[in-house]
Amino acid sequence: MTGEAIPSPHKGEGKGEGSSTRVYRRPVPAGWWARRSHYFWYIVREFTALPMALWLLWLLIDIRSAAVRPVNFHPQTSIAFVAFSVVCLAFALYHSFTFLSLAGVIIHVKVLDRPVPSRLIVLSQFALWAVASIVIGFVLIWFAR
Amino acid sequence: MSEPAHGPAGGRPHAGKPAYTHLFWWFMFAQGGVIAAILVPVHILLQGVLGPLGVVDTADRHYASWNTLLGNPLVKLYLLVLIAFPFFHFAHRLRYLLVDLGIPSARGTVAQVVFYGAAVAVTLLALAILLTTAPISLG
């Protein structure tokens, strides 16, 4: 029996051979994301982009409202808008929690040749979020005169 | 953050060449995500919920104060960053959301042009609105 009788499973590796091998792709059902809660929340995380985008487009309209005459300036008061904002806020908060929680995995910092613990990095991101929110809130409220 | 296996602009960099395009789109994706996470919620809370409900008084609910605030060049720059960067993050997320939901063509060049083109369009629109609304004033 020669060595060619049974082809090596590693044949062609690194030599360009086998590149035309057809790869079997397991079909994924359309509703795969509804099968497990983990998948569902992953899709929700990706979807957060849409409501946030819509709300930021509204902010552009809000900015543009300053260009009209004072008598035509009517700030938003409708309940429908508040409901829309509440939904957007829920998605925005979910984005913040998921995105900032990843900081410990992404950011690697060393202080005195010692790696900073990932929990501390995540904590610093949430602290930054809190400080930024307080500063922005202060400016928005302080200038309302 | 989305899987690192695919860059926001798709494809893979060639070995030996700096992948400047990838670097740019990843930078915009990551910074957009950070800005959306840190800055956007408080704006929605105050300008979208508490302000309209009358719980707090915010600057955008008064013509004079809103114009004063928007006339500040630093505020204009801040608003441009607040609005423009997240859209590059959103473009990537929504494109791969379509891929995940069974639309593989969302990986393609046409989809990239549409989604990142939309982000560029929003950036230009925001720039135009900020430059034509409330004259710049340092007072």
Delimit the domains of chain A by residue range: 32-142
* pLDDT tens for each residue of B37-69: 999 999 999 999 999 999 999 999 999 999 999
Phi–psi pair at A115, nearest 5 degrees: -70, 135
A43 in reach of chain B (CB within 8 A): yes
B52/A85 CB distance under 8 A = yes
Residues 6+ apart with CB under 8 A from B127: B80, B84
Q: What is the mean pLDDT of residues B2-19?
A: 58
The answer to whether the CB of B42 falls within 8 A of the CB of A137 is yes
DSSP string, A12-69: TTTTTTTTTPPPP-----TTGGGSSHHHHHHHHHHHTHHHHHHHHHHHHHHHHGGGS-
pTM of the model: 0.84
CA A118 to chain centre: 19
Domain map (residue ranges) of chain B: 23-132
**Would you tell me how many other CB atoms lie within 10 Å of the CB of residue B83?**
24
The answer to whether the CB of B115 falls within 8 A of the CB of B95 is yes
pLDDT over threshold 90, residue A40: yes
**Pairwise CA distance, residues B46 & B14, whole Å:** 47
Q: What is the mean pLDDT of chain B?
A: 89
Length of chain A as a residue count: 145
**Chain A residues 87-116 with a CB less than 8 Å from chain B:** 88-89, 92-93, 95-96, 99-100, 102, 106
Which fold, B23-132?
A: 3 helical TM bundles of succinate and fumarate reductases (1.20.1300)
Nearest to A62 among B57, B60, B125 (CB): B60
pLDDT over threshold 80, residue B15: no
The token pair that represents A7 in the structure block: 């082809």
Q: What is the pLDDT of residue B5?
A: 46
* pLDDT tens for each residue of A125-141: 999 999 999 999 999 99
Q: What is the pLDDT of residue A2?
A: 45
Q: What is the pLDDT of residue A145?
A: 76
Phi–psi pair at A4, nearest 5 degrees: -85, -10
B89/A143 CB distance under 8 A = no
Which fold, A32-142?
A: 3 helical TM bundles of succinate and fumarate reductases (1.20.1300)
Q: What is the pLDDT of residue B20?
A: 85
Q: What is the pLDDT of residue A3?
A: 45
Q: How confident is the model at residue B1 (pLDDT cuts 50, 70, 90)?
A: very low
Q: How confident is the model at residue B19 (pLDDT cuts 50, 70, 90)?
A: confident
Instruction: List the single range of A89-103, B14-28, B55-69 with lowest mean pLDDT.
Output: B14-28
A77 in reach of chain B (CB within 8 A): yes
pLDDT over threshold 60, residue B106: yes
